[in-house]
Amino acid sequence: MKILFSVIIISLFAVATQFILPWWHIVPSAFLGAILVFQNHAVKSFVSGFIGIALFWGIFAGMLNNANDGILATRISTLLGAGGPFNLVIATAFVGGILGGFGAMTGDLFRQMITNKK
């Protein structure tokens, strides 16, 4: 249940800051989300950050793809050899998920480092 709550918090942070900050705002969003939601293990934080940001970037990239009828995504996927605009959207979500996962894992490890001082 904590993973679902963490995914929602991370996604909300990312949505709230997407028009204010540059593209890499997903990393601090995942970092803050992992600090706020305590999880028992850094791997759980990575998974929640990955899912939260991958969903956010995947949905956002899909919306942008649909807004221009897939013209740009088709051209870019042809240029990169991605095999179609859908594969490009999936690759975008995967890259965002990796960044969000590492941001969340860093936030969780930072919180553990601060709270476990003796």
Residue 39, phi then psi, degrees to nearest 5: -125, 155
* pLDDT beyond 90 at 70: no
Can you give the pLDDT at residue 60?
93
| 57 token code pair | 């970037």
Between CA 65 and CA 112 the distance in angstroms is 40
Q: DSSP for 24-85?
A: GGHHHHHHHHHHHS--S-HHHHHHHHHHHHHHHHHHHHHHHHHHTTTHHHHHHHHHHT-SSH
Between CA 59 and CA 7 the distance in angstroms is 14
The whole-number average pLDDT for the span 47-76 is 93
pLDDT in tens, 6-18: 999 999 999 999 9
- Average pLDDT of the chain is 91
The whole-number average pLDDT for the span 31-37 is 93
Can you give the pLDDT at residue 117?
59
pTM above 0.85, yes or no: yes
Can you give the pLDDT at residue 118?
46
pLDDT in tens, 36-53: 998 888 899 999 999 999
